[in-house]
Chain A
Amino acid sequence: MSLNWLFRGGLVAYTALFFAFIYLPLALIAVYSFNSNPVNMMTWEGFTTDWYWQVLGFKTTVSEAAMYIESTGQLLAALRNSIVIAFSTTLISTVLGTALALALYRYDFLGARTYRVLMFMPMLVPDIVLGIALLIFFVNAGVHLGIGTIIIGQCTFLISYVFIVVSSRLAGMDRSLEHASADLGANEWVTFRKVVLPQLMPGVMGGALLAFIISMDDLVITYFIAGTDVTTLPIFIFAMLRRGIKPEINAIAVMMLTFSFLVASLGLYLRSRQK
């Protein structure tokens, strides 16, 4: 009896520790982002929202010496680049990944199996290897590094993510619905538009959201193929860190976290609604 109680208590403690391990750092960042101490953010000095205002380019009482960001313009430019890239790669990889999943699900052609295995490769290859490979490829091909190369480079592995999410949705789909549609007089295109795609939509949306978030977040591969002119948000933050951790970073992190959370919530909401 007491052993059982001990076991249960241990389990509860383990669970609590587990969540603390995952979420405490995030909570700390959120707390520090409101700390007014500009020098040592481990020491609580007082509550302020100045760091947020600072990041967003408003005049604040923060002294010039305490700030890292030289111009909010740089930050916003990096953010804009990231968003442009994320939307482009999401669109391209979602369309191509979905088409690929459909083709491999529907048709049994020569090499289909090999193709399927190859689609998992970009996820297994270490980022740094993929980054170097892409860099060498682009340089040899004489392509100017920039937003274009970032979009192409990110699509190479984002297609795989979309492919896998959509494929798993396809695997659970009822093939007889397509038969029913054909039986009722719909040709392949109408069947795809009215029956297959609506059934597939949660998978496609899930794949797109995943691609968007990974794209916004990608540092290693993007770093290699970004060239010298283009800076994305992760690259910008990484560059900031080399000059020491400043409180603005906490504010940026919290805003990114909030954004990701909202996107993920939207995804879950759409999924629950379409079930």
Chain B
Amino acid sequence: MQDAIVELAGARKVFASPEGGEVKALDNIYLDVRRNEFLTLLGPSGCGKTTLLQSIGGFVRLDAGTISIDGADMTRVPPHLRPVNTVFQNYALFPHMSVEQNVGYALEVRGIPARERREKVGAALVMVGLGGMEKRRPNQLSGGQQQRVALARAIVARPKLLLLDEPLSALDRGLRHSMQIELKNLQNELGISFVFVTHDKEEALTMSDRIAVLKHGRIQQIAAPREIYDRPANPFVASFIGVSNMFEGSIDSGSLVMDRGETLQLGRTLQDCKGRATAVIRPEQFSLSFEQDTRAGIDVTIDQVIFVGAGFELYARTRGGRELVVSAPASARDDVARAESDRRARLIYVPANIHLMPGEGGSQ
């Protein structure tokens, strides 16, 4: 494929677990990283996302399968010969070198003359907003600054691909958010692909062109953030990406019939489906109503209302005892107040917007 910078085919890696068993870190992974794309590997700890990143960088040798980078087979190529640079989770800055020496390391190793090196290092430091810090030592910098040095060091030699291993996890919340935006801008500016590992779904949704959700060494779904959010491939993805209300049941003449006798109306396109399925309704897809009309809706009692600044979160319960989460915008203030005082409401949904996934398994 011409527009893929990285291609993994049938990648497998098994580690021995401390209990003496085996852990499949990578289980038959097929993955293409496109050119100029910001791809996020997202998943809970132990899902294989870091192993996947390290196998692209060359630090993990695959048990089976192949990796090619920019059309060249890299399966057995050691890390220092791969056209790839990494921003490590703990930054891994060389403590005995100045910022300038750290950032210039990749150039020095390639034998680039000192003057040209200094120019490029300066430019890279300006790019990450650290101009004028050349002479400092890593231990004289704050966590955020060290992060930027690690970033400058990884981009100074213009790799074809930048790998980022949870680089923002050690930063505080505010700084993390501004770095997310900066990283995204940097990726546009450099015009290279970023592969970013995180367990933070907000981070993934904010920055990515595509997200690959992993679990147990398998890719559960790979798609654009909105697609992943709106049309999760399975209940695991649905619950991992944001809060989801999930309904399991069997499809029967245009409705999803749940085990406790409750039903959910389905859109016209789903009428022909058969068998067991799980439906997803995101908290913001409900709207509050108090009248019995022809619109599809669920009658609930309201357990709790929480003010979250930009809006409200309502914890509701159906007659069958199913717990639901509803989010309402600040503009729905009056309805929320009424629901809170009445202790009950009707949750309106649009059947056509319901996303249906085959199979069972609501939580995780």
Contact = CB atoms under 8 A, between A and B. Distances in A.
A107 B96 CA distance: 25
Interface stretch (B78-86, B249-257, B337-345): B78-86
Interface residues of B, number: 24
B206 to A, nearest CB: 26
A184 B90 contact: no
Nearest to B80: A182
Nearest to B104: A184
B290 interface: no
Interface in B40-60: 57-59
B109 A183 contact: no
B88 interface: yes
B38 interface: no
Contacts of B110: 185
Contacts of A80: none
Interface in A194-211: 194-195, 198-199
Nearest to A274: B96
A184 B153 contact: yes
A187 interface: yes
Contacts of A199: 95-96
A190 B80 CA distance: 11
Contacts of A195: 94
A180 B86 contact: yes
Contacts of A184: 80, 85, 105-106, 109, 153-154, 157
Interface stretch (A60-68, A82-90, A171-179): A171-179
A77 interface: no
B170 interface: no
A49 to B, nearest CB: 45
B78 A186 contact: no
B155 to A, nearest CB: 11
A179 to B, nearest CB: 6
Given A177-B94, A180-B92, A187-B80, 11 more contacts: A177-B92, A179-B59, A179-B79, A180-B94, A182-B59, A182-B80, A183-B57, A183-B79, A184-B80, A184-B157, A185-B157
Interface of A: 174, 176-177, 179-187, 190, 194-195, 198-199, 274
28 contacts: A174-B90, A174-B92, A176-B92, A177-B92, A179-B86, A179-B88, A180-B86, A180-B92, A180-B94, A181-B94, A182-B58, A182-B59, A182-B78, A182-B79, A183-B57, A183-B80, A183-B85, A183-B86, A183-B154, A184-B80, A184-B85, A184-B106, A184-B109, A185-B80, A185-B106, A187-B80, A198-B96, A274-B96
